[in-house]
């Protein structure tokens, strides 16, 4: 059975959901504002005759007509980075400011990390962490290509991350773009679900709880933590938020989601979650013609 059948009761338009999951994903690039501006990037694409369409909610995102972004002058110059539209959301929810200290706990290959740096005008510090060495080298390559200078790269297990290498002991903000069962990337990788098991969902959920707990602990009181996944499983989304609401000093805060979304669910199978998870966002592929996504924003209370 298609594992996505589990979520049919959660979506309003079952047919549109399954249809969207079968279509390939549009090719989207983000303009790297460390190196260029949306105006110049568009002018360069025009000069080269590469067709695109602006994403209506964000001038920094361009939907390309055809080929991937890899072979164009603005890409060569690090003005563009291939990044799925919905993947731009967590950094926007986090809203990092120039000069702040920000932790990206699961950073590789760095789409969101480099977006955070750009939003901070490449000032302050972004600590990009991952526990996978091969993926970290992709992160390093992307950061170099995009001209990011405010990034510290570490290789630690996010669950017991240590700030010892740094000259500070708490972050202003943190982002947990967690490892997950990736159901929402089905449009990019059609065989994602071949490996799907409920056991994996449960084991990855435990890791997610561990990393998100550490992120709340490592962030200053009043600071912001954003949690995101590219999966539909409530075990990996609302259940993880519900867990940290109980075990750590934090609360869910609402944020304006620029994409059409559905509220987080408070009930799933035999479980019930804190009612505040209704302020978190579920994004299904058919709502905005994107991948599937989940995003929650937390404020650290003590």
Partner 1 sequence: MSDPETDDTGEGSESDEENLRDNVGQRFGRLPATSADREVKGRASREEVVEFFNERFGIEPAVFEDFSFWEKGKGKIWIFAADNPSPVRIEGLGMTVLRTRQEHWKPTHSAVQRFGRHATKNVIDLSPEQAATFARGEDQDLPEWDGDWGYLIAAHELAGEREPVGVALYVYDELRSTVPKGNQEALSVL
Ligand X SMILES: C[S@@+](CC[C@H](N)C(=O)[O-])C[C@H]1O[C@@H](n2cnc3c(N)ncnc32)[C@H](O)[C@@H]1O
The total of other beta-carbon atoms located within 10 Å of residue 33's CB is: 18
As annotated, the binding site includes 106-112, 130, 157, 177
Contact between 157 and ligand X (CB under 6 A)? yes
Of the pair 132, 279, the CB lying nearest partner 1 is at 132
The answer to the question of residue 110 lying near ligand X (CB under 6 A) is yes
Query: Would you say the C-alpha torsion 114, 149, 108, 204 has a positive or negative sign?
Result: negative
The reply to whether 73 sits near partner 1 by the rule CB under 8 A is: yes
The entry of partner 1, ligand X, none that residue 157 binds, CB within 5 to 8 Å by partner kind: ligand X
**Which of 147, 196, 289, 299 lies at the binding interface for partner 1 (CB under 8 A)?**
147
Query: What token pair was written down for 72?
Result: 């164009």
Instruction: Tell me whether residue 27 or residue 279 sits nearer to partner 1 (CB atom).
Output: 27
Cβ(62)–Cβ(88) below 8 Å: no
Decide: is 29 part of the binding site for ligand X (CB under 6 A). no
Rounded Cα gap, residues 48 and 74, in angstroms: 9
81 binds ligand X (CB under 6 A): no
Element (H, E) at 237: none
- The DSSP symbol for 64 reads E
CA distance 52 to 31: 13
Q: Whole-number minimum distance, CB 107 to ligand X, in Å?
A: 5
DSSP letters for 155-166: ---GGG---TTS
Q: Which of 108, 100, 117, 162 is nearest to 137 (CA)?
A: 108
**Contact flag: residue 131 with ligand X (CB under 6 A):** yes
Tokens of 198: 């409920």
Of 101-109, 119-127, 165-173, 243-251, the segment contacting ligand X by CB under 6 A is: 101-109
Any contact of residue 290 with ligand X (CB under 6 A)?
no
3-state SS class at 6: helix
**Number of amino acids touching partner 1 (CB under 8 A):** 41
Is 230 among the residues known to form the active site? yes
Work out which of 31, 207, 216, 233 binds ligand X, going by CB under 6 A: 207
Q: Which stretch binds partner 1 (CB under 8 A): 23-31, 122-130, 196-204, 208-216?
A: 122-130
Binding status of residue 132 toward ligand X by CB under 6 A: yes
Annotation: binding site for S-adenosyl-L-methionine: 106-112, 130, 157, 177
**Residue 53 in 3-state DSSP?**
strand
Q: Is 74 in the site for partner 1 (CB under 8 A)?
A: yes
* 110, containing H or E segment: none
284 sits in which H/E element: none
Residue among 21, 180, 230, 250 flagged as catalytic: 230
Catalytic annotation, residues: 230
């Amino acid at each position: 059975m298609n594992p996505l059948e589990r979520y049919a009761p959660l979506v309003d338009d079952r047919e549109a959901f399954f249809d969207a999951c079968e279509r390939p994903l549009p090719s989207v690039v983000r303009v790297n504002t460390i190196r260029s501006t949306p105006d110049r990037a568009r002018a360069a694409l025009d000069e080269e005759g590469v067709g695109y369409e602006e994403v209506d909610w964000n001038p920094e995102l361009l939907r390309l007509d055809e080929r991937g972004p890899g072979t164009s002058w603005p890409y060569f110059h690090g003005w563009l980075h291939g990044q799925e539209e919905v993947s731009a959301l967590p950094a926007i929810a986090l809203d990092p400011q120039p000069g702040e200290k920000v932790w990206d706990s699961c950073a590789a290959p760095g789409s969101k990390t480099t977006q955070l740096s750009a939003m901070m005008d490449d000032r302050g510090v972004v600590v990009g962490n991952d526990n996978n060495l091969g993926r970290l080298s992709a992160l390093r390559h992307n950061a170099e290509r995009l001209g990011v200078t405010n990034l510290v790269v570490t290789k630690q297990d996010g669950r017991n991350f240590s700030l010892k290498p740094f000259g500070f002991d708490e972050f202003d903000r943190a982002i947990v773009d967690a490892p997950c069962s990736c159901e929402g990337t089905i449009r990019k990788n059609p065989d994602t679900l071949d490996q799907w098991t409920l056991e994996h969902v449960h084991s990855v959920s435990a890791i997610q709880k561990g990393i998100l707990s550490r992120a709340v602990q490592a962030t200053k009181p009043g600071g912001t933590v954003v949690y995101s996944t590219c999966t539909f499983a409530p075990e990996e989304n609302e259940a993880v938020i519900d867990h940290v609401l109980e075990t750590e000093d934090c609360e869910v805060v609402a944020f304006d989601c620029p994409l059409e979304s559905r509220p987080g669910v408070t009930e799933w199978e035999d479980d019930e979650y804190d009612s505040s998870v209704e302020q978190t966002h579920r994004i299904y592929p058919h709502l905005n013609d994107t991948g599937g996504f989940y995003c929650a924003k937390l404020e650290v209370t003590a």
